[in-house]
Amino acid sequence: MLQTLLPILIFAALAVGAVGAARRIRLWRRGQRSPMGWHRLVRMPKRYLNDLHHIVARDKAMAHTHVATAGGFVAAMALALVVHGFGWRNPILGGLLLLASLGMFVGALAVNRRRLDPPAKLSKGPWQRLSKSLLAYSVGMFLVSLPLVGVAPTTLGGGALALVLTLLVAWGLLEMIVGMGWGGPMKHAFAGSLHLAFHRRPERFDDQHGEPQSKIPHDVHRGSRSTALFPLDLAAPKLGVEKPSDFQWEQLLGFDACVQCGRCQAVCPAYAAGQPLNPKKLIQDMVVGMVGGSDARYAGSAYPGIEVGKHRGAPAEPIVPQLVEAETLWACTTCRACVEECPMMIEHVDAIVDMRRFVTLERGETPEKGAAAIDNLIATDNPGGLDNASRLDWAADLDIPRIQDRPEGVDVLLWLGDGAFDMRNQRTLRSLVKILRAGGVDFAVLGDEERDSGDVARRLGDEATFQRLAERNIATLSRYRFQRIVTADPHSFHVLGREYGAFGGHYTVRHHSTFIAELFDAGRLHVKAAEQRETVTYHDPCYLGRYNGEFAAPRQVLAALGVEFAEMERSGYRSRCCGGGGGAALSDVPGKARIPDMRMEDVRETGASTVAVACPQCTAMLEGVVEPRPQIKDLAEMVAEALIEPASDTASPTATADTREEIPA
């Protein structure tokens, strides 16, 4: 009986699953078309085994579980197709099938143990069922395959036991094969593998670079950092994403790849602060919008403060506010922690910015202070609405050379950023100038010709203002000669270095931490040992670390200063955002806690008395935490304090302003 039933079951499951898969593909095709090549499919296996595996393997136990379960299933399914489906009942293949089922069973046991008391980040519902289905399939397949190696009597194929086994296998096939096409939890395998092949940011994968970008296994960034936002065509009939069908089809495919593992939820600073954002729920809402229906069947953690089941979506219906509330979009700090953690390499931030673009550019519903900042950027080229001519007021006594006076060109163009208007950041800039002078760096500034880089406008969705600022800055920069740009602002650093390229501005940009580390390496800076030993920790800015991969230089600088260094638990690529990125400080969505307060708690846990920062936003956010708290110092300030200035240089052109003041005028 089994020998007739099994082929029917297997082929029926494959056929029904294929129908479901075809329907799923139709759903993705509702998205916007972009050129695609089927040849990209060949990249998929390597990307799965290499890039994806390394991200999953940050959680060792889960990686082993997945290797056993998924590997076991794929092997067991392929062998079952040959052995039971086509009836090639070879004992060797039968033995392999048993081994594969056994492997899958072991994996399934681990899955079930994890699901006994699932962590809060995991979704329940169908995902709880999946763990049982895995067991059913592996046990069923194992037992029905035993006769192949002659272990059990062939008379097994009769009676009640056979019926039970058939049901087990049928359950397994229903979940694994039919569910894969029809939108069950196993959908992730089908959508996920295609997503890997057709990912919108192929630069994230090792196969685009020839060799892995890092030698350290697993716990590092994979591939290159493809973090620049995609430029928006301002002549398009509709700007940004209003409806699910306005996403590119690859994005819809990516949403469908989500396994609801909740790693994004666990690292999201807005979620932790009780703001109404949960990256996992957002991606699931996008799936709801793509398929059509209500979010009532979502079985994971909700957006804090927003009840599940009240929102509906459809492919041709607006997303905001029927499906997702606007405040959910505005709570994001664009810190990319979710993207960094996502084992399926889903691009949450791209989706959020796409939706923000529509809200800002078409609806004009940017949160009040964000809108004011944009208006100021349009009118005065800086978000504070200040006179751009006052950009250098803090340096009135420093006699900083202007690039306008140096037609022959300079080595370093110092990009001040909007921190030049902020009194706290002016201390950092003064320190940086002192360091540059001590290192004998040939530098100059643009002065009042410098405009905001456009970072905040772009993250708030105002691509029009961003592009206008970018074009003007690029035009300004093209008039002067310099080797590289150095800036103390990671946001400017990111935008100038990574995002201006799409508009024709290609520059060598260094963050000041990198540049200072280079000066130390070249032996051009000399520091005295700290008088009192204090413990220092370092807060990685998102736009320096996760966005641009600079984790080493700031730590190198601290090492050169000889301070006692304590690492926070969440540091490096897992650093927690300060809460100031992506215009979140402007939209200021209320939550239960403040993100910088949580970050300061991380600092306190290290016992450090000082937290070194490298970003004006982080400085402002962390200094906003009430005292008593560890003090906040920019790397430049710490270096400038410890600097031993070359005494013989007083008469040279690189003399510091301090020494110059001693010369009677």
In terms of CB distance, is 462 or 540 closer to other proteins?
A: 462
For the beta carbon of residue 215, count every other beta carbon within 10 angstroms.
Answer: 7
SS (HEC) of 303-343: CCCCCCCCCEECCCCCCCCCCCCHHHHHCCCCCCHHHHHCC
CA distances for 280 relative to 3, 151, 196, 258, 319, angstroms: 43, 46, 19, 8, 16
- The letter for the amino acid at 210 is G
Residue 14 CA, distance from chain mean position: 36
Given a contact cutoff of 8 angstroms between Cβ atoms, the answer to whether 437 and 654 are in contact is yes
In this complex, which beta carbon is closest to other proteins, that of residue 174 or of residue 320?
Answer: 320
Q: How far is CA 612 from CA 509, 532, 534, 580, 601, in A?
A: 22, 16, 12, 16, 15
Between 422 and 550, CB nearer to other proteins: 422
Compute the least distance from the CB of residue 123 to other proteins, in Å: 36
> Min. distance of Cβ 495 from other proteins in angstroms?
19
**What number of CA atoms fall less than 13 Å from residue 497's CA on the CB side?**
24
State in angstroms the smallest separation of the CB of 374 from other proteins.
8
Minimum CB separation of residue 467 from other proteins in Å reads 10
Between the CA atoms of 425, 426, 427 and 428, what dihedral angle is there, to the nearest 10 degrees?
Answer: 60
- C-beta of 246: minimal distance to other proteins in Å? 13
Structure tokens at 456: 């905040």
**Cis peptide leading into residue 118 (ω within 30°):** no
Identify which of 540, 537, 512, 536 has the alpha carbon closest to the alpha carbon of residue 640.
512
- Quick one: 62 or 378, whose CB is closer to other proteins? 378
Q: Which is nearer to other proteins, 180 or 232 (CB)?
A: 232
- Residue with Cβ nearer other proteins (161 or 234): 234
Residue 537: count other Cβ atoms within 10 Å of its Cβ. 24
- Residue number with CB closer to other proteins (375 or 641): 375
Looking only at the bridges linking them, the beta strands covering 564-565 and 535-538 are parallel
Provide the binding-site residues for other proteins, judged by CB under 8 A.
234, 238-239, 360-366, 371, 374-375, 378-381, 385-388, 462, 464-465
CB 295 to other proteins: min, Å: 25
Report in angstroms how near the CB of residue 372 gets to other proteins at its nearest: 9
Residue among 89, 83, 68 at smallest CA distance from 169: 83
CA atoms within 13 A on the CB side of 390: 11
* Residue whose CB is less far from other proteins, 158 or 321: 321
Rounded to a whole number of angstroms, the minimum distance from the CB of residue 330 to other proteins is: 14
Nearer to other proteins, 52 or 589 (CB): 589
* Contact by Cβ (8 Å): 149, 30: no
Smaller CB distance to other proteins: residue 356 or 494? 356
* C-alpha separations of 11 from 5, 76, 82, 270 in Å: 10, 15, 11, 47
Q: How far is the CB of 370 from other proteins (least distance, A)?
A: 9
Q: What are phi and psi of 290, to 5 degrees?
A: -70, -40
Give the helix/strand (H/E) hosting 511: strand 509-511
The minimum distance between CB 234 and other proteins, in angstroms, equals: 7
Q: Is the Cβ–Cβ distance between 179 and 187 less than 8 Å?
A: yes
Give dist(CA 253, CA 256) in Å, integer: 5
Of 457, 453, 31, the C-alpha closest to 232 is: 457
What's the min distance (Å) between Cβ of 379 and other proteins? 4
H/E segment holding residue 187: helix 187-197
The CB-of-239 to other proteins minimum distance in angstroms stands at: 5
As a whole number of angstroms, the distance between CA 222 and CA 218 comes to 8
- Residue 402, phi then psi, degrees to nearest 5: -95, 145
Residue 498 DSSP label: I
By beta-carbon proximity to other proteins, the closer residue of 61 and 475 is: 475
Residue with smaller CB distance to other proteins, 465 or 487: 465
Other Cβ atoms within 10 Å of 154 Cβ, number:
12
Closer of 348 and 468 to other proteins (Cβ): 468
Of all helices (H) and strands (E), which one includes residue 535? Answer: strand 535-538
Q: How far is the CB of 463 from other proteins (least distance, A)?
A: 8
Q: Which one, 388 or 654, has the nearer CB to other proteins?
A: 388
Shortest gap between Cβ of 362 and other proteins (angstroms)? 4
Q: Which amino acid is at 28?
A: W
How far is it, in rounded angstroms, from Cα 188 to Cα 171?
18
